[in-house]
Amino acid sequence: MTNFYSATSALIFFAAMGGCSTSSGDNSGGGSSDATYAEQAALAADLQEEIFPLSATDPGFLRDTGSVSYAGVFSVVADQVVLLGDLSLTADFETDEVTGGLSNVNGTNGVDYGGSVLLTGGVIDRDASVSQTVTGDLAGEVSDGTNTVVFDTSINGDFFGDNEAYIGGDVTGDVTVDDVTTTLGDGDGAFAVSSEE
């Protein structure tokens, strides 16, 4: 397991410091908030600063009762467009299941996409030999009616901080922006969420 920075710094930093031009769409497609690209980028920067000094939590020390809800940012770079979205996760430490989804996707291309994508197959792996404790799939599409993004992605991350305060890691897979598909490479996808406890 690694320091959060080594896994995700390039993307979160790029997303936060990149262009912040957005349209003023109403996000009527079911987003969980109306946060703009600039607001999401600021949150990404804040989360990086909070998680930066922390090492991943050994899964053998995770709690085994209760559940925790998290909120934060999902970020990918596809076809030269930085896409940021609101990511919500709930970790059930009794069943080792993780649920949640992605919504309110905004891009440096000025598009505010509607819709949402549910997390499927989300699990907590307590095997200390794994490099990522939290995994799951985000597959689906969001659209403003004209522009479409299709996600065929997975999250791969770890818990950080006291009392499982954060989850952060990489996003892998394919992202298609208006029929142009990008396979995410190192540093092209990341996520970070913080506990709402």
Say which CATH number the domain at 139 has.
2.40.160.90
Query: Which pLDDT value is given to residue 30?
Result: 36
- Higher model confidence: residue 51 or residue 128? 51
- Higher model confidence: residue 29 or residue 179? 179
DSSP one-letter string for the chain:
--BHHHHHHHHHHHHHHS---------TTT-S----HHHHHHHHHHHHHHHTTPBBPPGGGS--SSEEEEEEEEEEEETTEEEEEEEEEEEETTTTEEEEEEEEEEETTS-B---EEEEEEEEE---TT-S-SEEEEEEEEEESSS-EEEEEEEEEEEEESGGG-EEEEEEEEEEEETTEEEE--TTSEEEEEEE--
How many domains is the chain partitioned into structurally? Answer: 1
- With a cut of 50, say whether residue 149 has pLDDT above it: yes
- Higher model confidence: residue 21 or residue 48? 48
- With a cut of 90, say whether residue 32 has pLDDT above it: no
What's the whole-number mean pLDDT along residues 127-153?
92
pLDDT digit string (tens) for 86-105? 999 999 999 999 999 999 99
Query: Which pLDDT value is given to residue 71?
Result: 97
Q: Could you give the percent of the chain with pLDDT greater than 70?
A: 82
pLDDT digit string (tens) for 35-79? 999 999 999 999 988 998 899 999 999 999 999 999 999 999 999
Helix 37-51 vs helix 4-17: crossing angle, to nearest 10: 150
Confidence of residue 29 (pLDDT cuts 50, 70, 90): very low
pTM of the model: 0.86
Query: Which pLDDT value is given to residue 197?
Result: 81
Domain assignment of residue 96, given as a range: 4-195
